Amino acid sequence: MKTVKELLSYLTAVGLLVLGLGAGSVWLLSPDPTMKAEAKAPIVPQKFLDSIERKKPVPVDVVAPVQAVVPVMQESPVSLPQPILRREAIREVSRPVPKPKRRQSASGPMSMEAPGEPARLSAAAPVTTSRTDFPY
């Protein structure tokens, strides 16, 4: 019995929703009673019509030219121009001759250190791997 009551209440709720949606759509689709029954096109004044007639181009009688009868698919006695063949020689480009390397002096590279002192790293500018957008 409880199930039948739940089913009837469900059907009543669904029926009311369907009726509400139907009535709303009919109300939206119905025209407004204050609206005019039929809209008429406006009447164009005669002076506008006369102006349009004056601006129309004047028809000119054109005599159709007489066309000669040409036989269809007739072979014509002509030949196509022959292409002129040009011979272009492509020269080979050789690699540039490498410059001879300069020889260093026999004493070796010059050093700024005193001959008896060991080499030290300067702590002037540390090396970092970070990047910046600042250009200077």
- The per-residue pLDDT string of the chain (136 residues; one tens digit each, 9 = 90 and over) reads 899 999 999 999 999 999 999 999 999 998 887 777 677 888 999 999 999 988 888 877 777 777 777 767 767 777 777 777 777 777 777 888 888 888 776 665 555 555 555 555 555 677 777 777 777 6
Question: pTM of the prediction?
Answer: 0.27
Cα torsion through 94, 95, 96, 100, rounded to 10: -130
The Cα–Cα gap between 51 and 46 comes to 9
Q: Which two tokens stand for residue 113?
A: 């250190």
Helices (H) and strands (E) in the chain, counts: 2, 0
Query: By C-alpha distance, which of 38, 41, 21, 37 is closest to 29?
Result: 21
Instruction: Say how far apart CA 41 and CA 94 lie, in whole Å.
Output: 86
Alpha carbon distance 77, 116 (integer Å):
102
113 CB contacts (<8 Å, ≥6 apart)? 119
